[in-house]
Amino acid sequence: MEKQSRIKTTQEKLTLFKNTFGGLSHVYGTYDPETGRSWQVKEPVTNNVIFRHLSGIQPFGVYLLRGTTTEAIAVDFDDDDLELPLEFTASAGNYGIPAYIEQSKSKGYHVWIFFEKRGVVAEKARRVVATVLEEIGKPGTEIFPKQDRIGSGTSYGNFINAPLFGRLVPRGCTCFLSPLDPTKPAEDQWEVLENIQRISRAKLNEIIAINDIPQRYHVAERKEKPVSKAEGFRTFGLMPCAQRMLTGGVKNYQRLACFRLAVQLKKTGLPQELTEQILCAWADKNRPQNGKRIITPDEIISQTSWAYTHNYRGCGCEDISVKPYCKNRCPLKKRFTQKDKENGNKKNKSQR
C-alpha cells in the first residue's frame, strides 16, 4: 500500500500545486468542460484560480514558458496506448531523467518532467525530450512548451491543461499514474507531487554533453551570457551602471541591487515575467562576499514585484548598491557632477 502524503490542508495543497506547476503568473488558460471550447484569461494566477481548478469549478491551464526558461515540460500523447508513455519514461530514465505519467482529461496521456525552481533553458529541455521521442519512434509528438522562448512573435506561448481538475479526478482523469501499477491512478496524488524529482541546470547540461545531443533547434545559447539580453536593451535606455551590474554580477547588497535593476528594466518596457527571468540569470553571476549566499528566485520575484507594483522612477544613483558601478559616461552622472559644481560655486560665492 502506498504511503499517504503529509499534505492535508487546503493551503498546503494550493502551495504545493503552484510550486509544482510554475509558469506565467499573469495569464492562464481554461476550457468549458461541457463543450471543450478553450480560451485565454489575462488575469493573475491567484490561489482562488487554483482552488477553483482543484475543486472542479473552472479548469486551469498553465503557460510553462517564461522568457527563455521553463520549470517543467510535458509531452502530449494523444493515443490511448499506455505503452507509448511507458516507453518514453523508460527511455528518459536511461538518461537519468525522472518522468511522471498523467492520464489526460479525455484520452491519451501527458508525461511531465520537472526542473529546478529557477527554471532551465527551454530550448535545451525541448531538445533532450525531442531526442527521447526520436528514440521511441515518435518524433512528431507534441511538446509543451511549444516554443523555445517568448519573443516578438510569441506573447505567451501555449498553455497546457494542468493535472488534478477536481471534476475529473474521481473518474481517474487528470491524475498521475501509480509508479507501482501504471494502469491505475496513484492512491495519493499529493504524495506524488510532494516527492517530485527535479532536474537541475547542471544535470541537463551534463546530459546534453555526455550524450552528444545535437543542436536541433539552432537557438543561440543564452546561459553563459545572460547579459547579452542587457546589451540588447541598451538602446532602450538602460543605464551604464545597470549594464555593468548585469554583465558582471554583484558582490554586495544583492537584494537592493535586484530591486534597482528591476526598476530600470521596468522602465525599458519589459514585462515583469521577463524581468524576473533576466534577474534569475543575473544571480548566477553574483559572487557574494563574507560567505553570504546567492539571492534566491523567491527573493528576486519579491523584489521585482515591489518594483513593478510601486511607482519608482529613479535609477538609485546614490544607492550603496549602485554607486560602485557608476561610470563617468553616464548622462545622469554628468548631470549630478554639473549640479555639484554649480552648488560648489554658489557656496564659494556666499563665503566670500
pLDDT of residue 29 exceeding 80: yes
135 part of a folded domain: yes
Do residues 141 and 245 both lie within one domain? Answer: no
Count of the separate structural domains present in the chain: 2
Its domain, for residue 343, covers: 228-348
Nearest alpha carbon to residue 67 among 279, 307, 217: 279
Rounded-to-integer distance, Cα 73 and Cα 92, Å: 13
CATH for 159: 3.90.920.20
Compute the mean pLDDT over every residue in the chain, rounded to the nearest whole number: 84
* Domain co-membership, 111 together with 238: no
- Give just the sign of the alpha carbon dihedral 206, 178, 54, 154: positive
pLDDT of amino acid 319: 79
pLDDT of 335 over the 70 cut = no
Q: Is residue 155 part of a domain?
A: yes
Closest CA to 230 of 241, 220, 219: 241
- What is the pLDDT at residue 328? 60
pLDDT, residue 216, reads: 53
Q: pTM of the prediction?
A: 0.63
Say whether both 196 and 313 belong to one domain.
no
Considering the domain architecture, whether residues 177 and 54 belong to the same structural domain is answered as: yes
- Kindly state whether residue 217 falls inside one of the protein's structural domains: no
Do 239 and 184 fall within a single domain? no
147/247 same-domain check = no
**Do 205 and 233 lie in a common domain?**
no
Q: Could you give the CA distance from residue 117 to residue 296 in angstroms, rounded to a whole number? A: 10
What's the rounded Cα separation, in Å, for the pair 154 and 24? 13
**Is residue 89 domain-resident?**
yes
- Within this chain, do residues 247 and 188 fall inside the same structural domain, yes or no? no
- pLDDT over 80 at 283, yes or no: yes
Query: Is there a contact between 75 and 111 (Cβ–Cβ < 8 Å)?
Result: yes
Among 298, 329, 321, 323, CA closest to 250 = 321
Closest CA to 251 of 300, 296, 281, 295: 295
Mean pLDDT of 320-331: 72
Could you tell me if 277 and 181 lie in one domain?
A: no
Pair (268, 179) in one structural domain? no
Query: What is the per-residue pLDDT across 231-275, written as a single tens digit (0 to 9) for each?
Result: 333 333 567 788 888 888 899 999 999 998 998 888 877 788 888
How far apart, in Å, are the Cα atoms of 60 and each of 35, 121, 190, 192?
16, 24, 17, 19
- 177 shares its domain with 142: yes
- C-alpha cell read off for 224: 553563459
Instruction: For the chain, give the percent of residues with pLDDT over 90.
Output: 55
Same domain, yes or no, for 173 and 235?
A: no
pLDDT number for residue 220: 33
Residue 339 has pLDDT above 50, yes or no: no
Tell whether 320 is covered by a domain: yes
Per-residue confidence band for 350, with pLDDT thresholds at 50, 70 and 90: very low
Q: Tell whether 223 is covered by a domain.
A: no
Three-class secondary structure assignment of the chain: CCCCCCCCCHHHHHHHHHHHCCCCCCCEEEECCCCCCEEEECCCCCHHHHHHHHCCCCCCEEECCECCEECEEEEEECCCCCHHHHHHHHHHHHCCCCCEEEECCCCCEEEEEEECCCCEEHHHHHHHHHHHHHHCCCCCCEEECCCCCCCCCCCCCCEEECCCCCCCHHHCCCEEECCCCCCCECCCHHHHHHCCCEECHHHHHHHHHHCCCCCCCCCCCCCCCCCHHHHHHHHHCCCHHHHHHHHHCCCCCHHHHHHHHHHHHHHCCCCHHHHHHHHHHHHCCCCCCCCCCCCCHHHHHHHHHHHHHCCCCCCCCCCCCCHHHCCCCCHHHHHHHHHHHHHHHHHHHHHC
Residue 80, all three cell numbers: 490511448
Least confident of 30-39, 67-76, 149-158: 149-158
pLDDT at 226 over 70: no
- 77 vs 322, residue with greater confidence: 77
Which pLDDT value is given to residue 326? 77
pLDDT tens digits for range 164-178: 999 999 999 999 999
Q: Is residue 86 part of a domain?
A: yes
Q: Has residue 103 been placed in a domain?
A: yes
Look at strands 69-70 and 120-121 and give their pairing. antiparallel
207 pLDDT exceeds 90? yes
Of the candidates 160, 121, 155, the residue with the CA atom closest to the CA atom of residue 143: 160
Torsion, Cα 177 181 187 192, to 10 degrees, reads -50
Cell of 176: 498521475
Residues 6+ away with beta carbon under 8 Å from 241: 315, 317, 322, 325, 326, 327, 330
Q: Are 68 and 228 in contact (CB under 8 A)?
A: no
Last residue of a domain, one of 182, 210, 238: 210
Q: What is the model's pLDDT at position 52?
A: 97
- The answer on pLDDT for 153 being more than 70 is no
